[in-house]
Structure 1
Amino acid sequence: MTHDLTRARHRAGKAGLATTAALLLLAPATLGTDAFAAERATPPASTDATPMVHNRAMDAVAQMQPSWNMGNSLDAIPDETSWGNPPATKALFDDIKSQGFHSVRIPVTWSNHQSATAPYTIDPAYLARVKQVVDFALADGLYVDMNVHHDSWQWITNMPTQHDQVLARFNATWTQIADTFRNESDRLLFESVNEPGFTNTTGDAQKMALLDELNNSFHSVVRQSGGKNGTRLLILPPVGSSPDQTLMEHLAADMATLHDPNLVATVHYYGFWPFSVNIAGFTTFNAQTQQDLTDAFNRMRDIFTSKGIPVYLGEYGLLSEPNSGIVERGEMLKYYQEVAYQARLDHVTTALWDDGNFLDRNALQWRDPALYSWIRSSYRTESGTASTDQVFVPKSGPVNAQTLTLDLNGKGFQGIWQGGTRLVRGRDYAVSGNQLTLTAAELAKLTGSGAYGVDSTLQVRFSGGLPWQIQVITNDTPVLSAATGTSTSFSLPTQFRGDRLATMEATYADGTGAGPASWTTYQEFGTSFSPDYTGGALSLTSAFLSALKDGAPVTLTFHFWSGATVTYHVTKSGTSVTGTTS
């Protein structure tokens, strides 16, 4: 399996955490909807909205914040380097420690190094390698969560039809792991299984019963293995590692039957699914997207942390990679900041999912240092934001003043800088309440080069946190050209003229949605379409084209971040595709 195919599998698995029923109720959202119109005071990092319960498990998991996932390494299939990351080294964990992380999650897939038949022996050399990597992290004083990872969909998923075989293999796997690590530091935590799911079941009740059996068996095997495993913190997930209320409540009830104070609950969170993948018009971190996040963390609090059961958010992020352009950068920053904010309020420890797209493990450098700085700062405090981080100024039209809404997040507004130059309040901009207006004269000066694209970058500075960066962009309405192609390869010649694509709407003549996502007219960014700014093209994917009705004209409406919309028409006839501008 290639690295790209593996990422596709991982991404599809995360999308499964979304609630299907909720998606059916979605309506296309209005571009530019903003959830930050009102100020919200941010408590200092040392102030808690809900008092924290203190016990050994809660205190230890609190000390693990923040956490980082070494994804796509020891969990890679078939080997550690198969998915594009180099072998883990002590230097990697030295760097992670120096960056302020206090714990790491080390996902491990065992199946490719284990006999598939009894006694299910794990290759001793592989066990030794996993132990070496775990010891690297422990030597740096980091807490470590180690688990059974992609085995969940490789063979554990077959438990409904191969019950005895799966349970025997699961127990044998954990017996060997527990024996190998029985005397390791108590900073090592065991996680029973990653995102457990089961095929060929009759519903959630059966899935929960099967997972209870696995979690309870894991608990028994580890506790009976001796050494430090008698009191080691053990991490248990609900079905799918989902923050769904029913699934978490069931996990809490099952944990209570174990009568063990050294248990930790784990769930994963990848955001409100339509925003996370940019579908159905959810291009901004709007009120509905923010509410989904708030509700998920409040459920973790109400079911677990308020009752003294720690929660380790074993994975969080977005279902689109940070460098993909699928989620607009400023909206992505708001999302990551809000995760950290809610985690502080509800006493949840968060582990950033990193499959190699955040930290370059060859160079030991962050691929996007500014993004990482924002995430790192958000662990401690909130920074001020604005309704957008893009201001578009037309090249061929009059330059007008533009107003943005500030969200101060409890901070004081200090001013605006362009590089080392401070803009003059009253001349270059005005502030009234939470409304920031950039004057026409200043925007004309900032775009004086006349070249399409980013002309200037402004920093809005606040009394705390990081500055909010605003790109001032010269643009005109994009121009698309007629084209022909096939249902496997179709590209629209496009003059973007400085603008950036937000989303694409696709409809048949009767107004119904066209494309793979028939429940919405707004198709998924990257899955159905993608822009090539350097090559001057908009591509329609084979997945989108193959879903179109033969001979039925489709109207495409491309929505750009400047507010411009451009329509285009495509018709598929057999394997041929024709595109026109009128």
Structure 2
Amino acid sequence: MDTKDKKIFTASSADIAEKMGVGWNYGNTLEANSGGTPSETIWGNPETSQEMVDAVADAGFNTIRIPIAYLSKIDDNNGYKIDDEWLERIAKVVDYCYERELFAILNIHGDGFHTITGGWLLCDSDEQEIIKKKYKAVWKQVAERFAEYDEHLIFESMNEIFDGIYHDPVKEYYENINDYNQIFVETVRESGKNNTHRWLMVCGWNTNIDYTCGDYGFRFPDDAGNTAEDGRLILSVHFYDPWDYCGEEEKDVFLWGEKGMEISDEYGISPDNVANWGDESYMKYQFTRLKELYIDNGIPVVIGEFGCIDKSIANMGIAGKIAENRAYYNGFVAGTAAQNGITPIYWDNGFNGCYGLGLFDRRKLIQTQPHIIDAIVKGVRNKDPFAGR
């Protein structure tokens, strides 16, 4: 694609959320790996395709987040050079999004997990000098490769970086995360061309709302190299609350919120099967915090991941109602985010059925969860938390 012929997009902080609309993650694909070697299909999904991107666009999504793993594709013995074929494959996927005039978000995703062989972007490591040098080198190459792409391409600094232990942030390690964000911003800006005013996403400890909004040590990076007339930084957070409903397979919590309580009452389901925290009021509170701290101060916010796994199997007698409740939850996230000027991006891992998060069959190129898709898209379009009701 000749990106020079593309219109230079100059959204302001006041309208970037409106233009990004509603988003979808092309998850478990370009960040998939085996033993530290990235492989697009190793986690069971087919290769990324224009046809799949078309299906997502046709469903009403405006933004696609493309998680990336570099890992062994980085040559530590050659100035941290990224494998040319891998970088060009990433570019091809970005071009798929450009063909449909979608926003595309690229990050460093799989390299920051302690659980992945070859993970190196580790805030608790003693090798910070090497890590920061490598991190700068990677972003320099990515920025230079995409320097002429217009502002529909957004870079995101990293993904869920923390020390791998679920506790309050460690100040020393949080400072390393702050340093990563600063290095990222400065490196992209220094690469010139459209990167001097490209939208950049940064995140705090584990991309967690509480640890970003609270007094835990998050420092928003300086962006002195930005040549736009207004800010070009976006805050990135994730939202999977309540986790026992959204992500835990072991716990028998398969209903959520007011609708979940209604289903429980109507069908005689134990209240123990309804999440006992993280309801509608909690979600509203969290998103209002983001609005007041960031959006009201000219800093856009993106929920880079949200979603809840399919637990219909938990009670087959009301499987349909569990599915309805799932659509309600996702619509409530999307609509409440939109009400607060926040861009929501659903996490799709490509897997359907029990405990899956897929919205599409990526081989048949069809929607598998049309009610959830409808709730998310309409929730954002109409700024309506009850779109999935």
* Interval containing the TM-score (normalised by the shorter chain): 0.7 to 0.9
C-alpha spacing 1:292/1:162, structure 2 compared with 1 (3 Å): same
1:285 aligns with 2:256: yes
How far is 1:190 from its partner?
0.4
1:377 aligns with 2:378: yes
Counterparts of 1:113 and 1:227 in 2: how far apart (Å)?
A: 26
How far is 1:164 from its partner?
1.2
The amino acid that maps onto 1:63 is K
Relative to its length, the structure with more helix (as a share) is: 2
The amino acid that maps onto 1:269 is F
How far is 1:86 from its partner?
1.1
The amino acid that maps onto 1:379 is V
Whether the 8 Å contact between 1:252 and 1:304 is mirrored in structure 2 is no
Residue among 227, 233, 237 paired with 2:199 = 233
The amino acid that maps onto 1:305 is I
How far is 1:102 from its partner?
0.8
Residue among 24, 28, 48 paired with 1:72 = 28
The amino acid that maps onto 1:268 is H
Q: How does 1:405-444 map to 2 (within 5 A)?
A: none
Residue among 115, 123, 129 paired with 2:89 = 129
Q: Secondary structure at 1:293's aligned position in 2? A: helix
Counterparts of 1:84 and 1:75 in 2: how far apart (Å)?
A: 12
* Number of the residue aligned with 2:272: none
* Number of the residue aligned with 2:299: 309
* Number of the residue aligned with 1:557: none
Residue among 86, 96, 100 paired with 1:140 = 100
How far is 1:141 from its partner?
0.4
- Greater RCO, 1 or 2 (C-alpha within 8 Å, sep 6+): 2
* Number of the residue aligned with 1:474: none
Counterparts of 1:204 and 1:252 in 2: how far apart (Å)?
A: 9
Q: Secondary structure at 1:56's aligned position in 2? A: coil
1:254 aligns with 2:219: yes
C-alpha spacing 1:108/1:115, structure 2 compared with 1 (3 Å): same
Whether the 8 Å contact between 2:48 and 2:93 is mirrored in structure 1 is yes
C-alpha spacing 1:243/1:253, structure 2 compared with 1 (3 Å): closer
**Any unmatched runs of 5+ in structure 2?**
1-9, 114-118, 259-276, 351-357
How far is 1:116 from its partner?
3.6
Counterparts of 1:109 and 1:227 in 2: how far apart (Å)?
A: 25
* Number of the residue aligned with 1:263: 233
Q: Secondary structure at 2:349's aligned position in 1? A: coil
* Number of the residue aligned with 2:328: 334
Counterparts of 1:56 and 1:100 in 2: how far apart (Å)?
A: 22
Q: Secondary structure at 1:363's aligned position in 2? A: coil
Counterparts of 1:325 and 1:374 in 2: how far apart (Å)?
A: 22
Q: How does 1:465-484 map to 2 (within 5 A)?
A: none
C-alpha spacing 1:360/1:257, structure 2 compared with 1 (3 Å): same
C-alpha spacing 1:253/1:239, structure 2 compared with 1 (3 Å): closer
How far is 1:249 from its partner?
5.1
Residue among 76, 79, 97 paired with 1:119 = 79
How far is 1:64 from its partner?
0.6
Counterparts of 2:173 and 2:340 in 1: how far apart (Å)?
A: 28
1:189 aligns with 2:154: yes
TM-score (ref. length: structure 2): 0.78
Whether the 8 Å contact between 2:22 and 2:376 is mirrored in structure 1 is no
Whether the 8 Å contact between 1:55 and 1:308 is mirrored in structure 2 is no
Aligned length: 333
* Number of the residue aligned with 1:300: 290
Counterparts of 1:187 and 1:148 in 2: how far apart (Å)?
A: 18
Q: Which has the larger radius of gyration?
A: 1
Whether the 8 Å contact between 1:208 and 1:247 is mirrored in structure 2 is no
Q: Secondary structure at 1:376's aligned position in 2? A: helix
Q: Secondary structure at 1:254's aligned position in 2? A: coil
Relative to its length, the structure with more strand (as a share) is: 1
Whether the 8 Å contact between 1:235 and 1:266 is mirrored in structure 2 is yes
The amino acid that maps onto 2:278 is T
TM-score (ref. length: structure 1): 0.53
Task: Provide the alpha-carbon RMSD of the alignment.
Answer: 2.8
The amino acid that maps onto 2:73 is H
Deviation string for 1:478-505 (max 9, x for gaps)? xxxxxxxxxxxxxxxxxxxxxxxxxxxx
Whether the 8 Å contact between 1:272 and 1:293 is mirrored in structure 2 is no
How far is 1:358 from its partner?
1.5
The amino acid that maps onto 2:199 is L
How far is 1:233 from its partner?
0.5
Whether the 8 Å contact between 2:123 and 2:162 is mirrored in structure 1 is no
**Any unmatched runs of 5+ in structure 1?**
1-53, 385-408, 410-464, 469-582
* Number of the residue aligned with 1:362: 363
Counterparts of 2:168 and 2:325 in 1: how far apart (Å)?
A: 39
How far is 1:371 from its partner?
3.2
The amino acid that maps onto 1:329 is A
C-alpha spacing 1:126/1:323, structure 2 compared with 1 (3 Å): farther
Counterparts of 2:312 and 2:47 in 1: how far apart (Å)?
A: 23
* Number of the residue aligned with 2:140: 175
Percentage identity across paired residues of the two chains: 25
How far is 1:94 from its partner?
1.8
C-alpha spacing 1:365/1:264, structure 2 compared with 1 (3 Å): same
